[in-house]
Structure 1
Amino acid sequence: MELLLFAAVFIAIGMIDELAVDFAYLWCRITGRAHTPRVIRDSVEDVPLGGMAAVFIPTWREDAVIGATLAHALEVWPQRELRLYVGCYRNDAETIASVVAAARADERVRLVVLGADGPTSKAHCLNRLYQALREDEARSGSKAHMVVLHDAEDMVDRAALPLLDRATGHADFVQLPVMALPPSDSRWIAGHYADEFAEAHAKNMVVRDALGCAIPGAGVGCAIARGMLDRLARQEGGQPFAVTALTEDYELGLRIDALGGSSRFLRARTEDGRLIATRAYFPSELVTSVRQKTRWVHGIALQSWDRLGWSGSLVQRCMTLRDRRGPLAALLLFIAYLLVPATLVSSLVFQGSDVANAADAPLLRMLLIATFAGLLWRIAMRVLFTTREFGIAEGLRSIPRVLVSNVIAIMSGRRALMAYIRTLRGAPVVWDKTEHKVHPTIVITREKTA
C-alpha cells in the first residue's frame, strides 16, 4: 500500500503540473499570446535573405537519406545567399559520395571532411563545421548573419529559411516546430513521436515562449545569430557546441539565455494552413526508439543537471524541473503499471471478506480517482493536438499509443540511469546516433507515382 500511495502522490503532483501548463496555454489562447500567425506565401518563399545564411548538417553513415535531404533543400531554398555545410567523417565514404552526387556542383554546398575517424560526437562535428565557416568568412571577407542547424534526415520547409532570417534580426536563438511524421509501416512505435511533438510544439513550447522562458533547442529547424555563436565559442575555448554533452542541442538555448541572449519559439502557418516546420521520420523499431530516448533522458534529465545546474527565474526553474523529471516519471509509471492491476485483482479477491483491502484507504482511493481523471484529461489533450495536425484517424490512434509512449519511457529511463552511472565512472561520450533509412520526400514521390 505504501508504495502505491507513494506513486499516486507523485503522479498527482505531475498531473497538477500538467494542468498548470494546460491552463497557461488556455490563458495564452484567450489573450492572443498563443496566436499562430498566417503568413503570405509570396512573402516568405523564394525571397532573398538579409545576408549569408549557413546551414550546418552533421552526418555519420547517412548515405540513405542525405542525398534526398540536400536535393530537397537546394530545390525549395533557391536563395544564392544560402550555404550548406555538410560534415562527413573520413571513414564514411558512402555518405561522402552521396553528398557529392546530391550537390551536383552546386556552389552553395560545402563538403567538410573531418580529419578523424567517426563517430566522435555530434558536437565535435558541428564545431568542425563552425571552423570551416570561419575559414570561408576569412577568405571571402563577408560574414554570415545566422547559422541554422539541421539533421541529415530532415525535410525542410520552403518558408522556414526566410522566416528564420527575419526572426534572427530580433532574437539570438529561434526554434521552429518539429513535425514527426507518422509512417504507414510503423503506426505505433514511430507514430507515438507524432503525438508527443504535436502536443509539445503546439502547447508546451508556446507556453515557454509566452512566459519568457529559455527555449531549449531541438537540434533541427533552429537558427542562431552569428554574433551569439561567437560568444558561445569564446565561452568554450573556441568551440560553440559542447563536445562532452549528449544533448548539445537542448543545452544551446539554455546557454544562450544564461549569456543574456534572447530566444523565441516561432510557430506560424502559411495562408493555406501548412505549419512551417521541419518534418522527419523517427525510429520505427522499439530497440532504436529506446536507444534514442535513452540519450535524450540521459542528456537532458541527468547530464545537464551536472553541466548547467539550476538558474534563472522561478518559472524558468519550474520548466527545467519538467525537463529533468524523466527518470522519476519512468519509475512512477513502472510502479503504477505493476501495482494498479495488482490492487484491482486484490479488491476482487478479498471483496466481502474481513481482509483489509489497500484500495479502501480513503486517501489512496481519492488519489487513484484523481489520477485516473487526470489520465483521461491527458489523453484528451493528446487526441486534440494530434488530430489538429494529422487528422482524426491519427488522433484516435494516439489513445493506444499512450501505452506505447509510457513503455518506451520506462525502458529508456532505466537505461539512461545506468548509462549515467557509467559516465560517472569515466565512460566516454560517443555519438549514439539513430539510423535513418528513408526520407519523407522519397515516400511522397512513391505515393504520387503509385
Structure 2
Amino acid sequence: MAVFIQVLLSISHELMLFAAFAFVLGGTSDTAVDLIWAARATWRRGFIFKRFTRATAISLEPSVKPERLAVFIPAWDESTVIGAMLRHAIDALAPADCVIYVGVYPNDPATIAAVAAVASPRVRPVIGPRPGPTTKADCLNILWQQMQADDLVDGVRTKAVVLHDAEDVVHASEARVFDCLTDRFDLVQLPVVPLVDPASRWISGHYIDEFAVHHGKTIVAREWIGAGLPSAGVGCAFSRTMLDRIAQGRDGPFDAASLTEDYELGLRIRQLGGRGAFVRLPESPGGPLVCVRAHFPAELADAVVQKSRWIAGIALSGWDRLGWQGGFAESWMRLNDRRALFAAIVMLAAYGALATYAIATLLGAALGIESSLRSSWLFDILLLLCGVLLLWRLTLRGVLVTQLYGWREGLRSIPRSFFANVIDMMAARRAVEVYLKARRDGVVRWDKTRHAFPADPGTAR
C-alpha cells in the first residue's frame, strides 16, 4: 500500500507541475491584458474625460439623414420565444427606420406561425429554400439576399445590418447608436449583458461572469492595441459598404461553412482594413448601459452544447480557416482565443492532481503511512505564482461582475468559477467531436440550444 500511495503522489506531483507551469504562462498573458485595460482606463480618466464630457447615446450626433437599418434574426425552432421578442423589438426600434428580417425554415411551421402572428409591416419573414437546420450563416445569407431585393423594390439603400438572436432583449437606444456610428465604423459592437436567472445561479450564472470579463475588459484592451474586433453575433451592426465588399462573388457576406461566422466576420473586417468599435455607452448621464440582454442556457447539457460550438468554431476550425495573419497584437489575441481547448486540458490535469493528492493523503492518514509531495524551489515558486495569479483573477472578476450586477453576484462569481471550469472541460471534449465530425462529413449544421425570453423585458436585469 505504501508503494501505491507513493505512485499516487508521484502522479499528483507531475500533474501539478504541468498545470502550474501552464497556469503561469496563461496567467501572465491574462495579466498583460489586464495591464493594458488598466492603462487605457487610467489614460481616459486622466486625460480624455477631464477635457471632454463623457458621451451618451443621447449626446451622439445623428446622421444628417437617418437611413434604413436592417435587423437580421435567424430563427430555427424558436416558436416559444420569437413572438415576444419581435413585439418588444418593434416597440424598442419604433423611432428608427428599421426593417426586421426573420429567417425561418419550410420544415418549421411553428416558428413560421409565431412570426406571422406578430403581423407588423416592420417584420418581414423570409422562408429559406432548404429545410433546416442548415447553418446560422446560411440563414443570414438568405436574409441578405432578400434585403437586397427589397432595397430595389423600395428604392432605398440599407445603411447597415444589425444582428440579433431570437431571445435578445433589444435596447431602445441601440438604433440611434448604430445609425450614428456606422458612418465611421464598419463594425459596431454593443456589450452583451446576460440576464440573471435565479433558478440557475451556477449554470446560467457563469455566463454573467464570463461576459463581464470579456466585454468589460478583454475586448476593450483588444481594441486599444489594434487587434481585430470579433463580433458577438448579437447587438452588433455592420456597415453595408463593408458587407457588400465581403459578399462579392459569394452568396452573401456570412460564411455558411463556419461554426462561428460572427467571430470570423469581425476579424475578416480587420484584415480588409476596416474599423471596428466596441461601444460601451450609457443611455443618458447616469442612465443604464446601452447593451443587449438575453437569457443564457440554464441547463448543463445546453451550456455544454453552446460552448462546444464556440470552442470548435474558434479554437479548432478558426485555426484552420483564419490562420495567424496580422502582426504581434493580432496573433497574441488569436492565441488567447484559441487556447480554450488547451486550458480545459490543463484544468483537468489540475483537478486530477488535487484528486490523487487527496486520495493519497487520506489513505496515508488511515493506514498511518507518511505521505507528502516532493518539493523543489521551482515547484514552490510555481505554486506561489499560481496562487497569486488565481487570487488576482478571481478578485478582478468579482469587481467587474459587481459593477454590473451588485456585490452579491460579485461574490457568487468566485465559487462559480468551479462550475465554469467543469462546463468548459465537458464542452472541450464535445468540441473535438463536433470538429472531427464536420471535417469528416464536410457538413456544418446549426448546433443550437433552447432559448427563453423574459416575461417583462422592460424590467429585465
Give the shorter-chain TM-score range. Answer: over 0.9
Moved more, 46-55 or 201-210: 46-55
Question: Equivalent residue for 2:9?
Answer: none
Cα distance change of structure 1 residues 133 and 384 upon mapping to structure 2, 3 Å threshold? same
Distance 2:399 2:131 in 1: 46
Look up the SS of the partner of 1:223 in the other structure.
strand
> Which AA in structure 1 matches 2:268?
R
Look up the SS of the partner of 2:130 in the other structure.
coil
C-alpha displacement at 1:425, in angstroms? 2.0
Question: Equivalent residue for 2:28?
Answer: 16
Please tell me whether residue 416 in structure 1 is matched to residue 428 in structure 2.
no
Percent identical among aligned pairs is 43
Please tell me whether residue 378 in structure 1 is matched to residue 399 in structure 2.
no
Please tell me whether residue 208 in structure 1 is matched to residue 222 in structure 2.
yes
Name segments (4+ residues, structure 1) moved above 4 Å.
33-49, 344-351, 353-357, 443-448
Distance 1:258 1:305 in 2: 15
Q: In structure 2, which of residues 317, 324, 328 is the aligned counterpart of residue 314 of structure 1? A: 328
When normalised by structure 1's length, the TM-score is 0.92
C-alpha displacement at 1:64, in angstroms? 1.1
C-alpha displacement at 1:38, in angstroms? 4.7
Segments of 5+ residues of structure 1 without an aligned counterpart are: none
Aligned length: 442
Please tell me whether residue 79 in structure 1 is matched to residue 95 in structure 2.
yes
Cα distance change of structure 1 residues 154 and 330 upon mapping to structure 2, 3 Å threshold? same
Distance 2:226 2:34 in 1: 17
Look up the SS of the partner of 1:86 in the other structure.
strand
C-alpha displacement at 1:89, in angstroms? 0.6
C-alpha displacement at 1:359, in angstroms? 4.2
Look up the SS of the partner of 1:425 in the other structure.
helix
Q: Is the 8 A contact 1:45 1:159 kept in 2?
A: no
Distance 1:42 1:425 in 2: 51
When normalised by structure 2's length, the TM-score is 0.90
Cα distance change of structure 1 residues 146 and 6 upon mapping to structure 2, 3 Å threshold? same
Moved more, 354-363 or 78-87: 354-363
Please tell me whether residue 52 in structure 1 is matched to residue 52 in structure 2.
no
Q: In structure 2, which of residues 151, 158, 166 is the aligned counterpart of residue 137 of structure 1? A: 151
C-alpha displacement at 1:340, in angstroms? 2.6
Distance 1:310 1:5 in 2: 30
C-alpha displacement at 1:355, in angstroms? 7.4
Q: Is the 8 A contact 1:49 1:162 kept in 2?
A: no
Cα distance change of structure 1 residues 418 and 25 upon mapping to structure 2, 3 Å threshold? same
> Which AA in structure 1 matches 2:269?
I
Q: Is the 8 A contact 2:191 2:291 kept in 1?
A: yes
Look up the SS of the partner of 2:427 in the other structure.
helix
Distance 1:241 1:38 in 2: 35
For residues 28-39 of structure 1, the aligned pairs below 5 Å read 28-32=40-44, 38-39=54-55
For residues 45-444 of structure 1, the aligned pairs below 5 Å read 50-79=66-95, 81-102=97-118, 104=119, 106-234=120-248, 237-270=250-283, 271-343=285-357, 346=360, 357-426=372-441, 428-436=443-451, 438-440=452-454, 442-444=455-457
- The C-alpha deviation readout for 1:72-99, integer Å capped at 9, x for no partner, is 1111111352111111111111111111
Cα distance change of structure 1 residues 47 and 194 upon mapping to structure 2, 3 Å threshold? farther
Cα distance change of structure 1 residues 305 and 40 upon mapping to structure 2, 3 Å threshold? closer
Q: Is the 8 A contact 1:180 1:280 kept in 2?
A: yes
Cα distance change of structure 1 residues 327 and 167 upon mapping to structure 2, 3 Å threshold? same
Cα distance change of structure 1 residues 47 and 424 upon mapping to structure 2, 3 Å threshold? closer
Cα distance change of structure 1 residues 41 and 324 upon mapping to structure 2, 3 Å threshold? closer
Distance 1:420 1:41 in 2: 41
C-alpha displacement at 1:342, in angstroms? 2.7
Q: Is the 8 A contact 1:350 1:357 kept in 2?
A: no
C-alpha displacement at 1:380, in angstroms? 0.6
Cα distance change of structure 1 residues 377 and 425 upon mapping to structure 2, 3 Å threshold? same
Moved more, 356-365 or 188-197: 356-365
Q: In structure 1, which of residues 21, 25, 44 is the aligned counterpart of residue 37 of structure 2? A: 25
Look up the SS of the partner of 1:126 in the other structure.
helix
Q: Is the 8 A contact 2:134 2:446 kept in 1?
A: yes
> Which AA in structure 2 matches 1:116?
R
Q: Is the 8 A contact 1:182 1:194 kept in 2?
A: yes
Cα distance change of structure 1 residues 405 and 228 upon mapping to structure 2, 3 Å threshold? same
C-alpha displacement at 1:444, in angstroms? 4.9
Segments of 5+ residues of structure 2 without an aligned counterpart are: 1-12
Cα distance change of structure 1 residues 173 and 41 upon mapping to structure 2, 3 Å threshold? closer
Q: Is the 8 A contact 1:46 1:78 kept in 2?
A: no
C-alpha displacement at 1:361, in angstroms? 2.4
> Which AA in structure 2 matches 1:417?
V
C-alpha displacement at 1:418, in angstroms? 2.4
C-alpha displacement at 1:345, in angstroms? 5.6
Q: Is the 8 A contact 1:193 1:282 kept in 2?
A: yes
Cα distance change of structure 1 residues 5 and 134 upon mapping to structure 2, 3 Å threshold? same
Cα distance change of structure 1 residues 364 and 62 upon mapping to structure 2, 3 Å threshold? same
Q: Is the 8 A contact 1:173 1:262 kept in 2?
A: yes
Distance 1:160 1:91 in 2: 33
Distance 1:41 1:173 in 2: 17
- The C-alpha deviation readout for 1:227-258, integer Å capped at 9, x for no partner, is 11111111x62321011100001101001111
Look up the SS of the partner of 1:230 in the other structure.
helix
> Which AA in structure 2 matches 1:280?
A
Distance 1:74 1:431 in 2: 26
Q: Is the 8 A contact 2:158 2:240 kept in 1?
A: yes
Look up the SS of the partner of 2:117 in the other structure.
helix
